Amino acid sequence: MSLLTQRLRFIPFLPIYVAAYFLFLYLPILLLPIFSFNNAATTTFPLAGFTTKWYASLSGNSVMLEAAWNSLIVGLSVSLLSTILGICAARAITRYRFRGQRAAAGLIMAPLFLPEIIVAVSLLMIVLAMGVELSLVTVILGQTVFCVPYAMSVLVSGFEGFDRSLEEASYDLGEAAIGTFRRVTLPVVAPAIVSSLLVTFTISLDEFILAFFLSGTEPTLPVYIWGQLRFAAKLPGVLALGTIMLVASILMLTLAEILRRRAERRTQLAHALP
């Protein structure tokens, strides 16, 4: 490692490259909140003064509120469903040894690497072939398929190394099965579960392609935003909405990461030896 740090010092352009990289990555995202407070309907410099009217206009926009409500329902359902499925999968992967275990783990993770639009088109074909009407339910099912791998990877890192002797110690000290689950298992893995709920909720909130294909006449927020972009006058409102979603996502993901690390520390500590 020290050899590498030594060598890096001789590349003078490296700091410039790093700065350019981060500017390219985050400047567009930074522009979003800046223009959302700009007192003009166009997104051009110079800025025309500070305003919160775009935010105020959101609260009176019933179509947008409807879409936000849809997103909330979908987000909560998807996070619950995919976390429950993820718990089952993560427990099977970390606790038991069975034939086809690696294949099962790989297949569960696969949707992460499949082109989302292909998944969306296939799901749409199946839903239509089955004669099911497009609704929030179809969005929930589609996004759950997509979110289980995320849930599982968060949960596996929380469950991995959950020392079975913790549960045995609890039985040994006089506690029965239900008490052991409540007093030991749940508290030790709870941070990982909460973290999985937050991650999957955030993904569902931002997810566009599946929602676009499967939502029918009930748009979620990203689908609503996509529809609004056709009208230049609606742009500042979209920017304000986008800013709120951005901040909410960052907060939730940060919290999720903190919890995930705590879960990892807890379970690893249990058998970390001196």
Partner 1 sequence: MSDRAMIQIENVSKFYGIYKALDDVSLSIAEGEFFSLLGPSGCGKTTLLRSIAGFENPTAGEIYIDGVPSLALPPNKRPTNMVFQSYAIFPHLDVAENVAYGLKRLKLSPEEEKKRVGDALDMVRLSGLGQRKAHELSGGQRQRVALARALVMRPKVLLLDEPLSALDKKLREEMQVELRTLQKAVGITFILVTHDQYEALALSDRIAVMFGGRIAQIASPKEIYQRPRTRKVADFLGGMNFLKAKVLGEQGNAVSIDAARFGAVQLEKPQGFAASSGHVTVGIRPERLRLLWDDDRAPHELSGRIENRAYFGEVTHLTVGIDGLEQPLSMVETNNFGADDLPIGAEIRLAYDPEAFVLLAEDPPVTRI
Minimum CB–partner distance for residue 179 and partner 1 (Å): 8
Any bridge partners for residue 50, and if so which?
38
- For residues 177 and 129, is the Cβ–Cβ distance under 8 A? no
In the complex with partner 1, the residue whose CB is nearer, 53 or 271, is 271
Minimum CB–partner distance for residue 184 and partner 1 (Å): 6
Minimum CB–partner distance for residue 155 and partner 1 (Å): 17
From CA 20, how far away is CA 108, in angstroms rounded?
A: 37
In the complex with partner 1, the residue whose CB is nearer, 7 or 172, is 172
From CA 63, how far away is CA 84, in angstroms rounded?
A: 32
Minimum CB–partner distance for residue 239 and partner 1 (Å): 43
From CA 76, how far away is CA 71, in angstroms rounded?
A: 8
Write the DSSP string, 164-181: HHHHHHHHHTT--HHHHI
As a three-state string, the secondary structure of 125-152 is HHHHHCCCCCCHHHHHHHHHHHHHHHHH
In the complex with partner 1, the residue whose CB is nearer, 141 or 192, is 192
Instruction: Let me know how long the chain is.
Output: 274
Minimum CB–partner distance for residue 172 and partner 1 (Å): 5
In the complex with partner 1, the residue whose CB is nearer, 58 or 169, is 169
Contact footprint for partner 1 (CB under 8 A): 163, 165-166, 168-176, 179, 183-184, 187-188, 265-267, 269-274
In the complex with partner 1, the residue whose CB is nearer, 129 or 176, is 176
From CA 241, how far away is CA 265, in angstroms rounded?
A: 36
In the complex with partner 1, the residue whose CB is nearer, 53 or 183, is 183
Six token digits for residue 98: 């069975």
Minimum CB–partner distance for residue 171 and partner 1 (Å): 4
Q: Give, rounded to a whole angstrom, the gap between the first and last alpha carbons of the chain.
A: 25
- For residues 264 and 154, is the Cβ–Cβ distance under 8 A? no
In the complex with partner 1, the residue whose CB is nearer, 21 or 171, is 171
Minimum CB–partner distance for residue 114 and partner 1 (Å): 37
Six token digits for residue 1: 């490692």
Six token digits for residue 173: 């000290």
Closest residue by Cα to residue 188 from 254, 270, 96: 270
Any bridge partners for residue 38, and if so which?
50
